[in-house]
Amino acid sequence: MPAPKSRTLRPSRESFQNSGWLPKSQEAFHDYMNKLSKKVEKQRKLIRVGDAALLQPVQEFKNFIESEPTVYGEFIRMFEDATQDDTGLPSSYEDLIDLINEIFRQAPAFGDLGPPMYMIMANIMNTQGGFSAFTKENLNRHFKEMFVAWALFLTSKDSRDVLVDSDNGWLSAEAKDKMVEQYPGRTFEQVFICDTSADYYGYTSYEDFFNRRFREPETDRPTGDLTNNAIVSFATESTSYAYQENVQKYDELFIKDEAYSLQHLLAGHNVEDFVGGTVLQGFLNTTGYHRWHAPVNGTIKQIVDVPGTYFAQAPNTIGEPTEDTDAPPYLQSLRFFANTAARQLIFIQADNDQIGLMCVVSIGMTEISTCQATVYEGQHVVRGEDLGMFHFGGSSSALVFRASSGVEIDDVYKVPEVPLKINYPLNTNTPNIPSSPMVPPGLIRHG
């Protein structure tokens, strides 16, 4: 059997920063941590005099750590092993609990930071104690309960205080420009449905804003010929991260640059159909568009929610430097997440018989971990039609094809930092796919 052809298309640190996964600078990070620490100290004083309390799921998380000897020991060890500095990062699990309690009381603001939970946990994730703790199923259940509580707030009207046009507001000129970087010559108001005459642009919550819809998809993300069943497009607005051919049923998840192991990636579902097939993975911009769209014309055969981890980075990256590298260890772990993180699988039986069964994998990363399908099993979808969404941000996604699918991914998508845009054909080199005028500007189609 030929060896798998594998490419990790790892983007540069600058690309991850531009996509909102890393602070733009140490100054931005220090400023955020200083402000967060002041809020935490104020909350601690209220708790000490009985005028406030930890959020219920946060208190239960604390109780769990303190009542489970193994987990308690791992939390002690991860903080002993973590690199400490004067940036305000937590130095104990008690500090971590207080920071989480404050983060989950507010909606993320626009700015130069990155996902706040990842920011405060990056150091302890990069330890053996962290890996051991964060791969435990019972601990991840508590993380999920905390995310559910945060979700209730982010879907409430009180979460709209960040939907303003002042500094760090999502409706500021800087934020709106950032959100339409991939739509040249277009404004936020032109690209996305909103009501500029209403408070908060008419959005009912932070979540309603973050899962905004296209106003004119036929202008900004045209589907092209929907009668051509051979066309395949990506399901999410992403940047290329990894590509692998001849994917195996079982593969080693602990090697450098990782691998896809179908038994784990697909959680045991339809595995034999995809042995020897192809995986293309991308990651989303945290400020971007977070809905998923059908990559082919076909019928939804199966939808699977897979519980998994939230803060466990690839074990081969543990202890690697977090600064002065192309990407910190966590962001070198996206393939590992595809196999282990909380995710949703949507299997689609393509109308094109040769493409056959394919899968859309939506992968959670840190606090951005809730996936929701908006289709049902047995429903027929047309390429470009809504499939579902990430809640509270965007993460990573992948397409999985069978070995005999006949899908030939264009070479242009097998290099780093290339936009993977919904509705744009990925396979113009495949027979019966006409040369497309929809190739993203600035990209060169090879073939």
Q: Quote the tokens at residue 180.
A: 């339409």
Which value, in Å, is the radius of gyration of the alpha carbons in the chain?
Answer: 22
Cα separation of 229 and 298, whole Å? 9
Cα separation of 392 and 118, whole Å? 14
Q: What does the buried/exposed string (b/e) look like for 77-92 if buried means 16 or more CB atoms within 10 Å of the residue's CB?
A: bbbebbeeeeebbbee
Cα separation of 68 and 246, whole Å? 42
Q: Report the pLDDT value the prediction gives residue 393, as an integer from 0 to 100.
A: 58
Half-sphere exposure of 9 (CA within 13 A, CB side): 24
- The answer to whether 368 and 392 have CB atoms below 8 angstroms apart is yes
| Position 136, amino acid | K
- Residue position matching structure tokens 């001849």: 246
Nearest-10 crossing angle of helices 116-125, 26-48: 100
Helix ranges, 49-169 (H): 56-67, 69-81, 93-103, 116-125, 128-134, 137-154
Q: Report the pLDDT value the prediction gives residue 444, as an integer from 0 to 100.
A: 30
Q: Per residue of the chain (447 residues), what is the pLDDT tens digit?
A: 455 555 555 666 676 766 666 777 778 788 888 888 888 888 888 888 888 889 999 999 999 999 999 999 999 999 999 876 656 788 899 999 999 999 998 898 887 567 788 888 888 999 999 999 999 999 999 998 998 889 889 999 999 999 999 988 999 999 999 899 889 999 999 999 999 999 999 999 999 999 999 999 999 999 989 999 999 999 999 888 889 899 999 876 555 556 788 999 999 999 999 999 999 998 888 888 999 999 999 999 999 999 888 898 888 888 887 776 667 777 777 788 888 888 999 999 999 999 999 999 998 876 666 788 999 999 999 999 999 998 865 588 999 999 999 999 998 888 777 889 999 999 887 666 655 444 443 333 333
Cα 126 to the center of its chain, rounded Å: 19
Distances (CA, A) of 92 to 57, 140, 208, 362, 397: 19, 19, 35, 33, 33
- The answer to whether 322 and 135 have CB atoms below 8 angstroms apart is no
Instruction: Collect contacts of 83-92 with beta carbons under 8 A, ≥24 apart.
Output: 83/123, 83/126, 83/322, 84/123, 87/26, 87/29, 87/30, 87/33, 88/30, 88/33, 88/34, 88/36, 88/37, 89/33, 89/120, 89/123, 90/120, 90/124
DSSP 417-435: T-EE-BTSBS-TTSTT-PP
Cα separation of 262 and 274, whole Å? 8
Element (H, E) at 45: helix 26-48
Cα separation of 129 and 79, whole Å? 8
Element (H, E) at 17: helix 13-18
Cα separation of 285 and 16, whole Å? 8
Cα separation of 272 and 11, whole Å? 31
Distances (CA, A) of 185 to 165, 181, 219, 224, 399: 21, 9, 12, 21, 30
